[in-house]
Structure 1
Amino acid sequence: MTEITKLPVSIERFVLHWGEMGGFWGVNRSVAQIHAFLMTADRPVTAENVAVALEMARSNVSTSLKELQSWNLIRRVPIRGDRRDHFEAETDVWEVASRIAAGRKAKEIDPALETLRVCVAEAETDPTVHPVALKRLKEMLEFTETLDRWYGQITTVARPKLMALLKLGARIAALIPGGK
């Protein structure tokens, strides 16, 4: 198997940028860079290949690969005649987006909902909580519950329809009464 030694400029630019974007999303830069690298690889790659190509410590690569597997964004692939682990990324962008959204919902939205529900329940029975604070907690809960319901609904929409909705953008708002 040919070892990867030098990345094409466009791939390196993408890997570096994806790593930067990961930082904005709360994902470790190395994890995001490895994900980008595997998404653009034309074949399954060993952890050693990743470490060499991205000039990363093998331990960092190993930890990052485990995290990517936990998000179900990459998978281990057996290669006949090679005992090393090889990895490939999910390359369907819709599937990647879906898995990331599901992971973020589970790690962020679900715990926020649980906490807000408890806070509202406690605040409603606590006479020391100012009505303004209670109102704002309830508004945040309502907003978060709406996001949660929207996520549940949007995950059932077929991809072609979802793509059509995305392409419509703000024009879809014209169909909703009461707004510009």
Structure 2
Amino acid sequence: MKMSPLHQEFVLHFGEMGSRWGINRTVGQIYALLFLSADPLNAEQITEALGISRSNTSMGLKELQAWRLVRMKHVPGDRKDHFTTPDDLWEIVRILIDERKKREIDPTLSKLRALEMQGPAGDDYSEARISELREMIEMMTEFYDEMSRLETERLVKLMTYGSRIAGLIDRVGSYVPSPGKQ
């Protein structure tokens, strides 16, 4: 499989960014290749296009499947497994956020709760900071849960109104009701 210069640049960039996102370069490149591919690709095609070993391809595909970012797709007349990414960009973003929440936010929240359950440790400042952090993460998690339940169209609409909503909050926050009108 021959990649266009546009394809190559995108794949290389995703590989570089992968390490910043907590995945290795090869996994990022595999995902980028599949993301831009109009047709599902089999492992041999991925291996050839990226110039990586078959075992790297296999491990990368398994990791991407564990993240739910890559799916197997049957190609009629071909017995090999083919792989593709979800077509809906919003679905991809939702999966990424959900998976990162499971791997990073949820364990941290559990640890903060466990630390609070231990009871007073005689370090009021640290205890208060832990409690404050837990409360903030819980608030963000609740907000995420609400947003994740919105249909894509409503979420997009909400996001496009972002700065207007912030302005509205500012106006409501400065509103002082007249006596007797509460």
**Fold match, TM over 0.5?**
yes
Which residue identity is paired with 1:147? M
Which residue identity is paired with 1:87? F
Q: Tell me which of 143, 147, 150 is aligned to 2:136.
A: 143
TM-aligned CA deviation for residue 126 of structure 1: 2.0
- Higher Rg of the two aligned structures: 2
> Counterpart of 1:36?
32
Which residue identity is paired with 2:31? H
> Counterpart of 1:156?
149
TM-score by length of 2: 0.88
TM-aligned CA deviation for residue 159 of structure 1: 1.3
Deviation per CA, 1:101-133, whole angstroms, max 9, x where unpaired?
Answer: 1111111111111000011222x3323xx2111
CA distance in 2, matches of 1:62, 1:48: 10
- Whether 2:61 is the aligned partner of 1:65: answer yes
TM-aligned CA deviation for residue 153 of structure 1: 0.5
Structure 1: 5+ residue stretches without partners: none
Which residue identity is paired with 1:173? A
TM-aligned CA deviation for residue 169 of structure 1: 2.9
| Greater fraction of residues in strand | 1
TM-score by length of 1: 0.89
Percent identity over the alignment is 39
- Whether 2:173 is the aligned partner of 1:178: answer yes
Count how many residue pairs are aligned between Structure 1 and Structure 2. 172
Which residue identity is paired with 2:173? G
Report the secondary structure of 2:23's partner residue: coil
Closer/same/farther in 2, CA of residues 17 and 153 from structure 1, 3 Å limit: same
Deviation per CA, 1:40-73, whole angstroms, max 9, x where unpaired?
Answer: 1111111011011011111111000011111111
- Whether 2:124 is the aligned partner of 1:131: answer yes
TM-aligned CA deviation for residue 79 of structure 1: 2.1
TM-aligned CA deviation for residue 171 of structure 1: 2.8
Q: Tell me which of 59, 80, 91 is aligned to 1:95.
A: 91
> Counterpart of 1:114?
110
- Whether 2:167 is the aligned partner of 1:168: answer no
- Whether 2:11 is the aligned partner of 1:18: answer no
| Runs of 4+ with >6 A deviation | none
Report the secondary structure of 2:173's partner residue: coil
CA distance in 2, matches of 1:168, 1:152: 19
CA distance in 2, matches of 1:147, 1:115: 16
Report the secondary structure of 1:79's partner residue: coil
Structure 2: 5+ residue stretches without partners: 175-182
